[in-house]
Chains A and B, each alone.
Chain A
Amino acid sequence: MPRRGAPPEVNAGSMADIAFLLLIFFLVTTTIETDAGLDRMLPPIEPPDTDVVIKQKNIFTVNINKNGQLLVEEELIDLKNLRQAAIDFLDNGGDGTCNYCKGRKDASSSDNPTKAIISLKNDRETKYATYITVQNELVGAYNDLRNRECQRLFGRDFTEMEAEYLNPETPSEVREELKDKVKRIQDLFPQKLSEAETSTN
């Protein structure tokens, strides 16, 4: 058998391509974990100059006691029913000026979603987890109603539309267009969630 030099080397030129392919694959599939949570605005510390008179029927009071029990409009209710109770209150449209409301038009409940206020009060010994669950349900009630109106007007969910609007990767011309839509839905059901100072007893 004749020996004629070393065997040819394996061509490594395409190795870089494979490496880049893998690199791009991982780049696309890995997401850097971002935190998520419930966004809330605290009320400013200085009280407003003018006293605003709010009718009692436009206020939806939610009280959480230290055992995590809920008192809604002077009635003890289960946390699972809170969302529906809040939706019923917001969507009531008592004075007939709200043409998109689908509620019962009960005269003893809220006049208009733009006037309806949810007041949340908690005890100092309330567990944080309970508080978050209640917050979640109340925000969920607003989101459900906003989704409903957004589906009717624009054929898509509000939460998804808002997420696209807030996403910094959305191109600015799309965002400009979404801005008005988001504003319009927010004005239909403005989030008026007041958090009173906690009670000590």
Chain B
Amino acid sequence: MAKFNKKKDGDLPAVSTASLPDIVFMLLFFFMTVTTMKDSTLMVDNTLPNATEVKKLEKKDRVIYIYVGTPTSQYQKTFGTQPKIQLNDKFADVGDVGDFILQERAKKSQELQNVLTIALKVDKEANMGLISDIKQELRKVNALKVNYTTYEGDAFRNLQ
């Protein structure tokens, strides 16, 4: 029996930390992949409507975003409660949309300039008048490819 009783019952052995780097790297990779860079903070309420016949918006570098909605509560004092347009980090008027598109387009590389999509992220409570004005501005600067960004879901839920 003495053969099996060689255990030392004194101090505990140190836990091996050799695998710690692996775990850390694993976590690092995980967060690297799931994080998406958000380039502008939303200053408007943005509950998108639902639609079923959607197409995915691939290739983020070819998309210019325009947000429309009522300003969030902290901005309502200064900007009122009517739906506003948000371009990057600023509130803007309809007249600024054209210039904004031209500026953003100029930032993109030459071969992408003709394949840009304008993603309209519009709150479902907004009125079509504002959207029509934006569409008119987009036509003026020849940015004709638009995507009405929506959630995937039953379209009839929009009406409730």
Contacts and interface: CB of A to CB of B under 8 A. Distances in A.
Interface residues of B, number: 63
Residue from A22, A35, A143 with most neighbouring chain B CB atoms (10 Å): A35
Contacts, number: 190
Interface residue SS majority, chain B: mixed
Interface residues of A, number: 62
A36 B128 contact: no
Interface string B125-136: 111110110011
Interface stretch (B2-10, B71-79, B102-110): B2-10
B146 interface: yes
A32 B127 contact: no
Contacts of B124: 127-129, 132
Contact of A7 (B8, B25, B126, B142): B8
Nearest to A138: B53
Contact of B51 (A2, A23, A136): A136
Given A37-B119, A79-B156, A1 B146 contact: no
Interface in A45-97: 45, 68, 79-80
B7 A45 contact: no
Interface of B: 2, 5-8, 10, 13, 16, 18-19, 22-23, 25-26, 29-30, 33-34, 36, 49-59, 63, 117, 119, 121-129, 131-132, 135-136, 138-140, 142-150, 152, 155-156, 158-159
24 contacts: A3-B10, A4-B6, A6-B8, A7-B7, A7-B8, A7-B13, A15-B22, A16-B19, A16-B22, A19-B22, A27-B33, A35-B119, A36-B56, A37-B55, A38-B147, A124-B127, A124-B128, A125-B128, A127-B126, A128-B126, A131-B128, A136-B52, A166-B55, A198-B132
